[in-house]
Structure 1
């Protein structure tokens, strides 16, 4: 049993954190020009008291873009914009990594060069929508990436990681969750390929592992993390036997020298570290934890009490917190000192707009 104080320092890979809490990645759609701007600098700086910030999902290419006002990490202007963010977070004593992202089929031809189709593991359309300049629209049906194109996309992730380091980030997280491109390779509800990227769990995990290896080779495993969401279905990206594919993926990631693996556990009625279950999928976060000997970050509706339980049991080395940090930028400091939190942000402010409901939430000292 660990006796770790959640407010004490902890090191995950090369990330020396002041506490055991991470800011979870959250798309907020405040970059209409795809470049980090002044309110984004303020927003991330205000949350530097979290042990480690994981940025919102950040596309590695124009092709990887899927929604309005999301930032990228593939142009000189974007790198310079993110440098302003990382400088501000570091000046405030924080640590920050960039979540690198390719949306795959969760896109629209309006966002692709020359109005081309989005790409995916296969030409498998689904009940998938995205935000365009004209509102919430059904995504354009995708086409399958060719083998040569797959190698090119792996390099997009690799270059995105190098760009993130140039922008001053402490490292990166590979977004392999939530129904986006890597998830579209993992799950057989989308992946219908008949080559060595489809069919068996070994083949369907190949793209994830190639991306992971490329990023680790580029910037070091100690500065690399991966996010998976085995227990949720997002953007109609499903699998007929998720225990098999995610058990294999986690076992293979266990062989890589990652700083940490983040697993989204949302969807359980009771805390998995106590009950070992709560899922109708036949497996639980506890089962995956047995397959992963490295640093684990747990995510999914955790509060201070459940975080203490996860840390004390050794289930996780840290816990990532999402929506509470929208409204209370100094969430960690407030809990450490027993101060009340701000009221929750109204959903209308979650995505898009300017500073209201974003960078205007007061800290306790204000």
Structure 2
């Protein structure tokens, strides 16, 4: 039997297979950050995954970075997510919510009262962000004070509480892709001179304090973290990423986390070989996998589970297709972030159906 189809322990849960659906922004929520009925269908269709990690969800309105992304701050948002988790659980899968605070990768038009985006340092990132009026240049963010940092950490704690209230089996801290946690980690975006900047220990402090707050709410066995060293997305630069991520992962065993999710895209260092031996729980490997490379990674002991992104997006029944050696649907990149069911819930299964 393929190792993809064997059970695996992730935190307190035994998953039926080692295929994890990656968190992927889909921009189908309404303007208030409330998921729609289509979102229920979308996740239910893909519940043959052993574990689903939701799209990035903003823990607080100040963490929103893209139009039509969902939140977990209001009662309406919690109620809508309950429908998603119930549908996924009815099909036998587990689902974690990814908490994604975009920090400086945002725009005042998306934030409460037109506020400036926040960051560890007031450094303008290169690039643009998509708003309701089209592409806008990223601006210079507001540098968080120590009191404001404490409030953001509390926001993550409360978001974890609400995610569990919405029926999620756990939560994942998004500490990759150039968003707020990675902005603190990276020397290029963090030039603070206090306890949250300077040394690698200080730059990692924010991530570790956020994890501590999340674990206090959920227990370590219901919390995961995602990192992607050297990805460079959203103008993130670190002078010594190997040192940074070695230090960070060395600190993680104290939390007894459910998993460490590492996605690599063009990194110069084999971070899987470097980091997996340092971690004491399940190791999730991702980044451009197909069936063959995933099976090879599992067989070699490089990972405990493997993470698939666009393959799951375009193939709701991806495990069945792998099991039968069937052809895969091709992802339609033009509809990754567009409204409605096209490119969202209309990809056909092997049975020819695109319904939940």
Same fold by TM-score greater than 0.5: yes
Query: What is the correspondence of 1:189-204 to structure 2 with a 5 Å cutoff?
Result: 189-204=188-203
Q: 2:187–2:239: 8 Å Cα contact kept in structure 1? A: yes
Q: TM-score, normalised by structure 1?
A: 0.93
Is 2:55 aligned against 1:56?
A: yes
Q: 2:231–2:266: 8 Å Cα contact kept in structure 1? A: yes
Deviation at 1:4, TM superposition (A): 7.4
CA RMSD of aligned residues (A): 1.3
Structure 2 unaligned spans of 5+? none
Structure 1 unaligned spans of 5+? 269-278
Q: 1:106–1:128: 8 Å Cα contact kept in structure 2? A: no
Aligned with 2:172: secondary structure?
strand
Whole-Å separation in 2 of the counterparts to 1:354 and 1:97:
24
**Which residue of the partner structure matches residue 285 of structure 1?**
272
Whole-Å separation in 1 of the counterparts to 2:172 and 2:23:
9
Deviation at 1:146, TM superposition (A): 0.4
Query: What is the correspondence of 1:152-163 to structure 2 with a 5 Å cutoff?
Result: 152-163=151-162
Deviation at 1:338, TM superposition (A): 2.0
Structure 1's 46 and 283: CA in aligned 2 closer, same or farther, altered over 3 A?
closer
Q: 1:96–1:171: 8 Å Cα contact kept in structure 2? A: yes
Aligned with 2:14: secondary structure?
strand
Q: 1:266–1:299: 8 Å Cα contact kept in structure 2? A: no
**Which residue of the partner structure matches residue 171 of structure 2?**
172
Deviation at 1:248, TM superposition (A): 0.4
Whole-Å separation in 2 of the counterparts to 1:331 and 1:150:
41
Match of 2:17 among 19, 34, 41: 19
Deviation at 1:10, TM superposition (A): 1.2
Equivalenced residues, count:
351
Deviation at 1:314, TM superposition (A): 1.3
**Which residue of the partner structure matches residue 360 of structure 1?**
346
Is 2:245 aligned against 1:246?
A: yes
**Which residue of the partner structure matches residue 45 of structure 1?**
44
Aligned with 1:301: secondary structure?
coil
Whole-Å separation in 2 of the counterparts to 1:258 and 1:284:
19
Deviation at 1:53, TM superposition (A): 0.3
**Which residue of the partner structure matches residue 130 of structure 2?**
131
Superposed CA offset, 1:7-48 (max 9, x none): 111111123211001000000101123101111111000000
Q: 2:11–2:281: 8 Å Cα contact kept in structure 1? A: no
Q: 1:231–1:264: 8 Å Cα contact kept in structure 2? A: no
**Which residue of the partner structure matches residue 257 of structure 2?**
258
Whole-Å separation in 1 of the counterparts to 2:156 and 2:75:
16
Match of 1:334 among 321, 324, 342: 321
Match of 1:310 among 289, 292, 297: 297
Deviation at 1:283, TM superposition (A): 5.2
Whole-Å separation in 2 of the counterparts to 1:229 and 1:320:
13
